Amino acid sequence: MRAFPDIGAERATILVVDDILANQKLLRETLEPEGYEVLMASDGTTALELTHTAHPDVILLDVQMPGLDGFETCRRLKEHEATRNLPVIFITANDDPESLSEGFRAGAVDFVTKPFRREEVLLRVETHLKVHRLARSLAEKNRQLLVSLQQTEEAKQRSDELLHVILPHDIAAELKATQRVQPRQIKSVAVLFCDVVGFTAYCDHHDARDVHLNLQLLIEGFERIAASHGLEKIKTIGDCFLAIAQPSSPADDPALAAVHCGLALIHAAQTQPPHWNVRVGVHVGPVSAGVIGHRKYQFDIWGDTVNVAKRMQEAAHPGTVCVLSALWPRLSTLCRERANGKIDVKGKGEIELSFLELPSVEIGK
């Protein structure tokens, strides 16, 4: 007995289509001893039905048959996606060039001539079975590769979206392009700090889930307000919200934008449950900026302007925006000055402050 070729452990099914019973018997006796499962059909119509139900691996197809001949049967097999790639080996007594050409045009992969030679039949069946299985395996690997590539692309898109959520657009683009971000000096920005009054005491008397829910709603609202006023959120530190306003054109006034945003933050906090009051500090000046960390990226700003803005937020009265008094003339049409005062800043001495509020907002509620 011949050794079965190395084409996998799966048992192969061969469909023999011939209207002569003697040929069917001879081919069965040739194939079955080699471990093949053999199916029989006597005409093209039956062959098509068996192909769709039994899913053979190779088809031995007689050319001359009543009704549908072999050429037409083969053409119909190639019209359907499920059977298009099945290897069809024609059985024929005519090996003239015209018949061979027509068979290949119909979709055959090979021919076996009558009278049959056992070794030839086995070699051709084994060869095309191996090619078919390799092609099928390659197609499956290609399908898996496409799925993997699609999943990788989707993961990359999610990563890009997350990166743009965490970092400003230009910073994210630089990080993706160069795998690093050069630190930069920004000549003039308005730095805004906003902090919830009495947040620690609130946490001590409320369930952690309620605290988280209310803080989440507050910060989501702050993010929307900041974006609507052209500010870039930098980060939150507990209940503290940090954002900056940069001029996008010479006509822009970042201080005006930041104060306007701060007043809107105060109003939002006071009017939505649990009706928190907040303090806001705004200061204008140069800052350094860059990405800190490697495993967890954090875009941050630092410098004297940031420190002073934080001190001004701490000095602000509840429900007010604290700014340098020198800014008040530029802001007088936007809000009203509730009070003024001074703070001592290390290295700067005393600085004059103004505490601003919207006329319509009742402070201390």
Q: Are 284 and 254 in contact (CB under 8 A)?
A: yes
- Predicted pLDDT at 116: 86
- Predicted pLDDT at 92: 87
3-state secondary structure the chain: CCCCCCCCCCCCEEEEECCCHHHHHHHHHHHHHHCCEEEEECCHHHHHHHHHHHCCCEEEEECCCCCCCHHHHHHHHHCCCCCCCCCEEEEECCCCHHHHHHHHHHCCCEEEECCCCHHHHHHHHHHHHHHHHHHHHHHHHHHHHHHHHHHHHHHHHHHHHHHHHHCCHHHHHHHHHHCCCCCEEEEEEEEEEEEECCHHHHHHCCCHHHHHHHHHHHHHHHHHHHHHCCCEEEEEECCEEEEEECCCCCCCCHHHHHHHHHHHHHHHHHHCCCCCCEEEEEEEEEEEEEEECCCCCEEEEECHHHHHHHHHHHHCCCCCEEEEHHHHHHHCCCCEEEEEEEEEECCCEEEEEEEEECCCCCCCC
Number of CB atoms found within 10 A of residue 82's CB: 10
Task: List, in order, residues 6 or more apart from 141 with CB less than 8 Å away.
Answer: none
- Predicted pLDDT at 361: 42
Q: Are 101 and 69 in contact (CB under 8 A)?
A: no
Q: What is the pTM of this model?
A: 0.58
> What tokens were used for 357?
């509020």
Residue whose token pair is 């919830």: 196
Q: If the chain, 365 residues long, is cut into consecutive pieces of 10 residues, what is the mean pLDDT of each piece?
A: 48 93 94 94 93 93 90 93 91 83 91 90 93 88 89 79 66 72 86 96 94 95 94 92 85 88 95 94 93 77 93 93 88 77 80 83 39
Please name each of the domains of the chain with its CATH number: 13-140 (3.40.50.2300), 183-357 (3.30.70.1230)
- Predicted pLDDT at 121: 93
- Predicted pLDDT at 290: 85
